[in-house]
Amino acid sequence: MEELFWEVHSGLKREAPGSEESTERALKKVILTGEEPVVLDIGCGPGDQTITIAKALRDVKVMAVDTHEPFLDELVKRADNARVLDRIEPLKVSMFDMPFPNEHFDLVWAEGSAYIMGFRNALRSWKRLLREDGFMGLTELSWITERESDEAREFWSKGYPGMKHMDENRKYIEEEGYEIVEMFILPESDWWESYYNPMESRINELKAKYQGMPEKLAVLDGEMEEIRMYRDHSDEYGYVFYLIRKK
């Protein structure tokens, strides 16, 4: 059912909660000291945040990596329309095997993608990519309350068993040799406007398309369940923006 997954996600503005405003908020605290700063956007997806970075940091080159070629093609189209394509280099590269020299980047960015490696493993693995005093910006699905409901805990134990409380992630950041510059919970609008609302519309279209096909409808119901879960439990978990700096 992988094909159906991509059918759900194809054409969405983002592949995780977020917004131009939240990306810009974190970028305002970034200090780039290199003569020709280079940014690495890991798991860039269709590139909404990539374009925001290129617009906000006008003198940088942004290398945007993803393994899904249709996302990179979409990024190229969007960057061309936004007139920043000349400063963005899309690359079909896996985050598990990035062919870059150590201490190469002034800023490493990963909105909604570090979970693929696991948050702490990403912190540890990507540290070598940063120049001394380089910055890293990540968003990570995190518990934000001390008392999660059984329903939410059971759901995410299957969907993302490595999910931690935001305070535990803070501890990991410090133990892996970073300092926290800013840390904030994404507003609920970052979930709905560019992510869940368009996804819900797409799922409803596909349910009509695949009516009478129970296996496909079950997959679509699973996607819809994630949306319902956040609607009912948004006070228990969220995406947290962690802007950190290599010590």
**Could you tell me the CATH number of the domain that includes residue 179?**
3.40.50.150
* pLDDT at residue number 63: 97
Q: Is residue 48 part of a domain?
A: yes
26: pLDDT strictly greater than 80 = yes
Q: Is residue 211 part of a domain?
A: no
38: pLDDT strictly greater than 90 = yes
34: pLDDT strictly greater than 80 = no
1: pLDDT strictly greater than 80 = no
Q: Is residue 38 part of a domain?
A: yes
- Rounded to the nearest 10 degrees, the angle between the axes of helix 150-159 and helix 214-233 is 130
Type and span of the H or E element at 223:
helix 214-233
Please list the alpha-helical segments (H only) found in 15-118.
Answer: 20-27, 48-56, 69-81
Q: Is residue 162 part of a domain?
A: yes
Backbone conformation region of residue 43, classed left if phi is above 0, alpha if psi is from -120 to 50, else beta: left
**Residues 6 or more apart from 190 whose CB is under 8 A from it?**
17, 18, 19, 22, 239
* pLDDT at residue number 212: 93
Range of the domain at 74: 13-187+235-246
For the segment 90-146, what is each residue's pLDDT rounded down to a tens digit? Answer: 999 999 999 998 888 999 999 999 999 999 999 999 999 999 999 999 999 999 999
* pLDDT at residue number 123: 98
Asked if 21 and 49 touch (Cβ cutoff 8 Å), the reply is no
Taking the mean position of all CA atoms in its chain, how far away is CA 237?
Answer: 16
pTM of the full predicted structure?
0.95
Long-range contacts of 78-81 (CB under 8 A, 24+ apart): 78/46, 78/47, 78/48, 78/51, 79/47, 79/50, 79/51, 79/54
Position 22 confidence tier, pLDDT thresholds 50, 70, 90: very high
Q: Which two tokens stand for residue 135?
A: 């910055």
Q: Is residue 202 part of a domain?
A: no
Asked if 218 and 134 touch (Cβ cutoff 8 Å), the reply is no
Q: Which two tokens stand for residue 80?
A: 């061309």
Backbone conformation region of residue 177, classed left if phi is above 0, alpha if psi is from -120 to 50, else beta: left
Q: Is residue 192 part of a domain?
A: no
Lowest-confidence region among 16-20, 55-59, 112-116, 189-193: 55-59
169: pLDDT strictly greater than 90 = yes
CA-based end-to-end distance of the chain: 43
209: pLDDT strictly greater than 80 = yes
Q: Is residue 196 part of a domain?
A: no
* pLDDT at residue number 2: 81
* pLDDT at residue number 103: 81
Q: Is residue 74 part of a domain?
A: yes
What's the structural domain count of the chain? 1
Type and span of the H or E element at 157:
helix 150-159
